[in-house]
Amino acid sequence: MSRALLKFVRVSPTKARLIAREVQGMNAELALAALEFMPNKAAGIISKVIASAVANGDYEPEEVVISSCRVDKAAVMKRWRPRARGTASRIIKPTAHILVEVGVASVEPEAPVKKAAAKPAVKKAAPKAAKKSENKKAETKGDDLTKIVGIGKVYAGKLNDEGIFTYADVANMSEAQIAMMEEKYTFKGDFKESVADAKNFVNGKDA
Protein backbone atom coordinates (compact mmCIF):
# COMPACT_ATOMS: atom_id res chain seq x y z
CA MET A 1 0.00 0.00 0.00
CA SER A 2 1.19 3.50 -0.79
CA ARG A 3 -0.20 6.95 -0.14
CA ALA A 4 0.08 10.57 -1.21
CA LEU A 5 -0.91 13.69 0.72
CA LEU A 6 -1.52 17.14 -0.72
CA LYS A 7 -1.78 19.90 1.89
CA PHE A 8 -3.36 23.33 1.82
CA VAL A 9 -4.75 23.02 -1.68
CA ARG A 10 -6.97 25.91 -2.68
CA VAL A 11 -10.25 24.04 -3.08
CA SER A 12 -13.40 23.79 -1.01
CA PRO A 13 -13.46 20.60 1.12
CA THR A 14 -17.21 20.25 0.56
CA LYS A 15 -16.83 20.30 -3.22
CA ALA A 16 -13.77 18.05 -3.19
CA ARG A 17 -15.54 15.39 -1.08
CA LEU A 18 -18.16 14.97 -3.83
CA ILE A 19 -15.42 13.81 -6.19
CA ALA A 20 -13.61 11.75 -3.55
CA ARG A 21 -16.71 9.68 -2.86
CA GLU A 22 -17.01 8.82 -6.55
CA VAL A 23 -13.51 7.40 -6.96
CA GLN A 24 -13.11 5.63 -3.61
CA GLY A 25 -12.93 1.86 -4.12
CA MET A 26 -12.40 2.17 -7.88
CA ASN A 27 -9.53 0.79 -9.88
CA ALA A 28 -6.88 3.50 -10.20
CA GLU A 29 -6.78 3.33 -14.00
CA LEU A 30 -10.56 3.67 -14.28
CA ALA A 31 -10.61 6.48 -11.72
CA LEU A 32 -7.98 8.48 -13.63
CA ALA A 33 -9.92 8.02 -16.88
CA ALA A 34 -13.17 9.15 -15.23
CA LEU A 35 -11.63 12.21 -13.55
CA GLU A 36 -10.20 13.36 -16.86
CA PHE A 37 -13.69 14.10 -18.17
CA MET A 38 -15.06 15.79 -15.04
CA PRO A 39 -15.27 19.61 -15.30
CA ASN A 40 -14.80 20.19 -11.54
CA LYS A 41 -11.63 21.87 -10.28
CA ALA A 42 -11.29 19.22 -7.55
CA ALA A 43 -11.32 16.41 -10.17
CA GLY A 44 -8.02 17.55 -11.70
CA ILE A 45 -6.38 17.96 -8.28
CA ILE A 46 -7.51 14.55 -6.98
CA SER A 47 -6.38 12.94 -10.26
CA LYS A 48 -2.82 14.21 -9.67
CA VAL A 49 -2.85 12.96 -6.06
CA ILE A 50 -3.96 9.50 -7.22
CA ALA A 51 -1.21 9.38 -9.84
CA SER A 52 1.31 10.38 -7.17
CA ALA A 53 0.12 7.64 -4.79
CA VAL A 54 0.45 5.02 -7.55
CA ALA A 55 3.95 6.24 -8.43
CA ASN A 56 5.05 6.25 -4.77
CA GLY A 57 4.44 2.50 -4.56
CA ASP A 58 5.98 1.72 -7.98
CA TYR A 59 2.67 0.30 -9.14
CA GLU A 60 0.87 0.37 -12.44
CA PRO A 61 -2.58 2.04 -12.35
CA GLU A 62 -4.37 -1.13 -13.47
CA GLU A 63 -2.81 -3.11 -10.60
CA VAL A 64 -4.21 -1.14 -7.66
CA VAL A 65 -7.49 0.16 -6.28
CA ILE A 66 -8.14 3.35 -4.33
CA SER A 67 -8.66 2.06 -0.81
CA SER A 68 -9.09 5.54 0.70
CA CYS A 69 -9.63 9.03 -0.66
CA ARG A 70 -10.09 11.52 2.16
CA VAL A 71 -10.56 15.29 2.11
CA ASP A 72 -9.96 17.17 5.38
CA LYS A 73 -10.60 20.78 6.16
CA ALA A 74 -7.46 22.96 6.37
CA ALA A 75 -6.83 26.58 7.24
CA VAL A 76 -9.22 29.24 6.02
CA MET A 77 -7.81 32.44 4.54
CA LYS A 78 -9.81 35.60 5.23
CA ARG A 79 -9.85 38.65 2.99
CA TRP A 80 -11.87 41.83 3.01
CA ARG A 81 -13.70 43.66 0.27
CA PRO A 82 -14.64 47.36 0.61
CA ARG A 83 -18.36 48.03 0.38
CA ALA A 84 -20.60 51.08 0.39
CA ARG A 85 -20.61 53.74 3.16
CA GLY A 86 -17.19 52.77 4.45
CA THR A 87 -18.10 49.17 5.28
CA ALA A 88 -16.37 45.96 4.23
CA SER A 89 -17.48 42.34 3.62
CA ARG A 90 -15.42 39.27 4.50
CA ILE A 91 -14.17 36.88 1.83
CA ILE A 92 -13.47 33.31 3.01
CA LYS A 93 -10.96 31.26 0.97
CA PRO A 94 -11.01 27.63 2.25
CA THR A 95 -8.19 25.13 1.78
CA ALA A 96 -8.12 21.35 2.13
CA HIS A 97 -5.81 18.42 2.76
CA ILE A 98 -6.30 15.53 0.28
CA LEU A 99 -5.08 12.06 1.27
CA VAL A 100 -5.16 9.15 -1.17
CA GLU A 101 -4.20 5.55 -0.33
CA VAL A 102 -3.93 2.81 -2.93
CA GLY A 103 -3.35 -0.91 -2.55
CA VAL A 104 -3.21 -4.09 -4.57
CA ALA A 105 -6.64 -5.62 -5.06
CA SER A 106 -6.98 -8.78 -3.01
CA VAL A 107 -8.20 -11.73 -5.06
CA GLU A 108 -10.31 -14.02 -2.92
CA PRO A 109 -9.87 -17.71 -3.73
CA GLU A 110 -12.90 -19.27 -5.24
CA ALA A 111 -14.74 -21.62 -2.96
CA PRO A 112 -14.56 -25.21 -4.20
CA VAL A 113 -17.79 -26.32 -5.76
CA LYS A 114 -19.21 -29.23 -3.84
CA LYS A 115 -20.54 -31.96 -6.02
CA ALA A 116 -23.97 -33.12 -5.07
CA ALA A 117 -24.00 -36.63 -3.72
CA ALA A 118 -25.47 -39.09 -6.16
CA LYS A 119 -28.85 -40.32 -5.04
CA PRO A 120 -29.04 -44.08 -4.57
CA ALA A 121 -31.04 -45.72 -7.29
CA VAL A 122 -34.33 -47.05 -6.02
CA LYS A 123 -34.86 -50.54 -7.30
CA LYS A 124 -38.42 -51.49 -8.08
CA ALA A 125 -38.57 -55.14 -7.20
CA ALA A 126 -42.11 -55.93 -8.26
CA PRO A 127 -42.01 -54.65 -11.87
CA LYS A 128 -38.58 -56.19 -12.40
CA ALA A 129 -39.70 -59.56 -11.09
CA ALA A 130 -42.79 -59.41 -13.27
CA LYS A 131 -40.65 -58.56 -16.28
CA LYS A 132 -38.36 -61.51 -15.54
CA SER A 133 -41.33 -63.87 -15.29
CA GLU A 134 -42.66 -62.59 -18.60
CA ASN A 135 -39.27 -63.10 -20.23
CA LYS A 136 -39.09 -66.59 -18.76
CA LYS A 137 -42.49 -67.45 -20.12
CA ALA A 138 -41.54 -66.08 -23.51
CA GLU A 139 -38.38 -68.18 -23.51
CA THR A 140 -40.06 -71.41 -22.37
CA LYS A 141 -43.14 -71.07 -24.55
CA GLY A 142 -42.59 -73.14 -27.64
CA ASP A 143 -45.53 -75.34 -28.77
CA ASP A 144 -49.09 -74.47 -29.70
CA LEU A 145 -51.08 -76.56 -27.21
CA THR A 146 -54.35 -75.80 -28.98
CA LYS A 147 -53.38 -78.39 -31.60
CA ILE A 148 -53.84 -81.13 -29.01
CA VAL A 149 -57.26 -82.80 -29.00
CA GLY A 150 -59.63 -81.32 -26.43
CA ILE A 151 -57.49 -78.28 -25.56
CA GLY A 152 -58.69 -74.85 -26.61
CA LYS A 153 -57.19 -71.40 -26.15
CA VAL A 154 -58.66 -70.95 -22.67
CA TYR A 155 -57.41 -74.26 -21.36
CA ALA A 156 -54.04 -73.80 -23.06
CA GLY A 157 -53.66 -70.56 -21.08
CA LYS A 158 -54.48 -72.44 -17.86
CA LEU A 159 -51.84 -75.04 -18.68
CA ASN A 160 -49.32 -72.25 -19.23
CA ASP A 161 -50.21 -70.83 -15.80
CA GLU A 162 -49.33 -74.22 -14.32
CA GLY A 163 -45.92 -74.16 -16.05
CA ILE A 164 -46.82 -76.46 -18.97
CA PHE A 165 -45.73 -75.01 -22.32
CA THR A 166 -44.71 -77.84 -24.66
CA TYR A 167 -46.12 -81.11 -25.98
CA ALA A 168 -43.53 -82.96 -23.93
CA ASP A 169 -44.76 -81.26 -20.75
CA VAL A 170 -48.31 -82.53 -21.45
CA ALA A 171 -47.14 -86.00 -22.45
CA ASN A 172 -45.08 -86.39 -19.27
CA MET A 173 -47.89 -85.43 -16.89
CA SER A 174 -48.41 -87.96 -14.11
CA GLU A 175 -51.74 -89.40 -12.99
CA ALA A 176 -51.72 -87.08 -9.99
CA GLN A 177 -51.19 -84.04 -12.22
CA ILE A 178 -53.99 -85.14 -14.56
CA ALA A 179 -56.36 -85.62 -11.61
CA MET A 180 -55.39 -82.22 -10.22
CA MET A 181 -56.03 -80.51 -13.55
CA GLU A 182 -59.42 -82.18 -13.93
CA GLU A 183 -60.36 -81.24 -10.38
CA LYS A 184 -59.02 -77.69 -10.50
CA TYR A 185 -60.32 -76.73 -13.95
CA THR A 186 -63.49 -77.63 -15.79
CA PHE A 187 -62.41 -79.83 -18.67
CA LYS A 188 -64.77 -81.03 -21.36
CA GLY A 189 -64.06 -84.67 -22.21
CA ASP A 190 -61.29 -86.95 -20.98
CA PHE A 191 -58.02 -85.17 -20.32
CA LYS A 192 -56.17 -88.49 -20.72
CA GLU A 193 -57.01 -88.41 -24.43
CA SER A 194 -55.29 -85.04 -24.67
CA VAL A 195 -52.21 -86.51 -22.95
CA ALA A 196 -52.17 -89.41 -25.40
CA ASP A 197 -52.45 -87.01 -28.33
CA ALA A 198 -49.56 -84.99 -26.93
CA LYS A 199 -47.47 -88.17 -26.84
CA ASN A 200 -48.20 -88.65 -30.53
CA PHE A 201 -46.92 -85.14 -31.22
CA VAL A 202 -43.77 -85.90 -29.25
CA ASN A 203 -43.20 -89.21 -31.02
CA GLY A 204 -43.82 -87.55 -34.35
CA LYS A 205 -41.17 -84.94 -33.54
CA ASP A 206 -38.66 -87.55 -32.49
CA ALA A 207 -39.33 -89.53 -35.67
Neighbours of 26 (CB within 10 A): 17
Torsions phi, psi for 164 (to 5 deg): -110, 115
> Each residue of 14-58: pLDDT tens digit?
999 999 999 999 999 999 999 999 999 999 999 999 999 999 999
Torsions phi, psi for 153 (to 5 deg): -65, -40
Looking at residue 110, its pLDDT comes to 62
Looking at residue 196, its pLDDT comes to 78
Looking at residue 172, its pLDDT comes to 77
> Each residue of 128-179: pLDDT tens digit?
555 555 555 444 456 776 777 767 777 777 777 777 777 777 777 777 777 7
In the predicted model, what is the mean pLDDT of residues 94-121?
77
End-to-end CA gap in the chain: 104
Alpha-carbon separation of residue 183 from 31, 146, 193, 197 (angstroms): 101, 20, 16, 20
pLDDT averaged over every residue in the chain: 81
Looking at residue 161, its pLDDT comes to 75
Looking at residue 176, its pLDDT comes to 76
Contact 52, 101 (CB under 8 A): no
Structural domain boundaries in the chain: 2-104, 126-206
DSSP β-bridge partners for residue 79? 91
Looking at residue 195, its pLDDT comes to 75
Looking at residue 36, its pLDDT comes to 95
Looking at residue 73, its pLDDT comes to 96
Tell me the longest C-alpha to C-alpha distance in the chain.
Answer: 150
- Percent of the chain topping pLDDT 70: 75
Q: What does 2-34 look like in DSSP terms, one character per residue?
A: EEEEEEEESS-HHHHHHHHHHHTTSBHHHHHHH
In the predicted model, what is the mean pLDDT of residues 83-112?
87
Looking at residue 138, its pLDDT comes to 45
Comparison of pLDDT for 130 and 79, the residue scoring more: 79
Banded model confidence at residue 206, pLDDT cuts 50, 70, 90? very low
Q: Is the pLDDT of residue 101 over 90?
A: yes
Q: May I ask the CATH class of domain 2-104?
A: alpha beta
